[in-house]
Amino acid sequence: MRIEGHRGAGFLEPENSIKAFKKAIELGLEGVEFDVWLTKDYVPVVLHGYPGGIVEFKEGAKDIIGHFTSDEIRKFTLKNGQKIPTLEEVFDACKDKVCLNIEVKEVREEVIEKMLDLAVEKDILEQITFSSFNHYLREKLTQEVKRRGLKTRITFGFLMRVVDPTLPNYENETQPGDSLNLDIRFLERNRKECLEHIAKAKKAQMKIIFWFPMEYLHEDSFWEDLLKIGADTIITNKPIELNEYFVVKQLGA
């Protein structure tokens, strides 16, 4: 099972900071997960946000990331005391060191071109998988990669919401390597339905990924269950503890 750090190593260092990504690399994690948004001048930046690009700054004020230019963004400080890194800065920190699970929350389709421009420039595309609640972006990404004549095959994770979940059409979404990225709360609250979707996804040759919200400090109580279910990846807030858990399991202790 793969271990990916949620927002870098977002509990050990300020989430989505360069420090958090470097910490994940130091721990030997196989991947890191993070959100990407566009500034007003279409520069990809890395930070957690909510629908519409709403971000909470240090002063407690909320605003929309797309209202500000990249120069203006550099002056801001988040609640965790950190500056907002650009996607380019994250690529530079992670190149050849860790896989990147980029959650595309930005709804402006220009984000696809901007991300691919940067990934090609940095020669890092093979380290990247994409995921989004906006499932139509998978086709947009595939089309853009084909248009550019790139040889790298794009993999895409279908994220779902706990309330009124949007899930893929498994009969049509059978491209190998794609994944179903599940909020642990879906399993917790709607176990029967969740397991039914997992079975359909596996039949369609999709990987199963579970992620934990930042507030789930008791996530270790789910790990055994996820092993039995056959999850392929856990996006965790507790990378050290999860790694130790797997070591113990492998030793048969």
Please tell me the predicted confidence (pLDDT) of residue 172.
66
Which numeric CATH code is attached to 2-251? 3.20.20.190
Please tell me the predicted confidence (pLDDT) of residue 161.
81
CB 185 within 8 A of CB 173: no
pLDDT tens digits along 177-206? 589 999 999 999 999 999 999 999 999 889
Please tell me the predicted confidence (pLDDT) of residue 162.
84
**DSSP string of 79-108?**
TTSPPPPBHHHHHHHHTTTSEEEEEE---S
pLDDT tens digits along 235-252? 999 999 999 998 887 766
Among 80, 111, 115, smallest CA distance to 214 is for 80
CB 104 within 8 A of CB 132: yes
pLDDT tens digits along 47-97? 998 888 887 766 667 788 899 999 998 888 777 778 899 999 999 999 999
Percentage of the chain beyond pLDDT 90 is 68
Instruction: Determine the Cα–Cα distance for residues 154 and 138; give it in Å rounded to an integer.
Output: 8
Percentage of the chain beyond pLDDT 70 is 94
The yes-or-no verdict on residue 224 having pLDDT over 70 is: yes
Among 186, 185, 130, 184, smallest CA distance to 158 is for 130
Strand ranges for 126-177 from DSSP E: 128-132, 156-159
> What average pLDDT score do residues 162-187 get?
78
Strand-pair partners of 62: 56
Instruction: Kindly indicate the confidence band of residue 101, based on its pLDDT and cuts at 50, 70 and 90.
Output: very high
Please tell me the predicted confidence (pLDDT) of residue 102.
98
The yes-or-no verdict on residue 174 having pLDDT over 50 is: no
Mean pLDDT of the chain: 90
Please tell me the predicted confidence (pLDDT) of residue 59.
62
Instruction: Determine the Cα–Cα distance for residues 6 and 9; give it in Å rounded to an integer.
Output: 6
pLDDT tens digits along 15-37? 999 999 999 999 999 999 999 99
CB atoms within 10 A of CB 22: 17
Instruction: Determine the Cα–Cα distance for residues 242 and 219; give it in Å rounded to an integer.
Output: 9
The yes-or-no verdict on residue 176 having pLDDT over 50 is: no
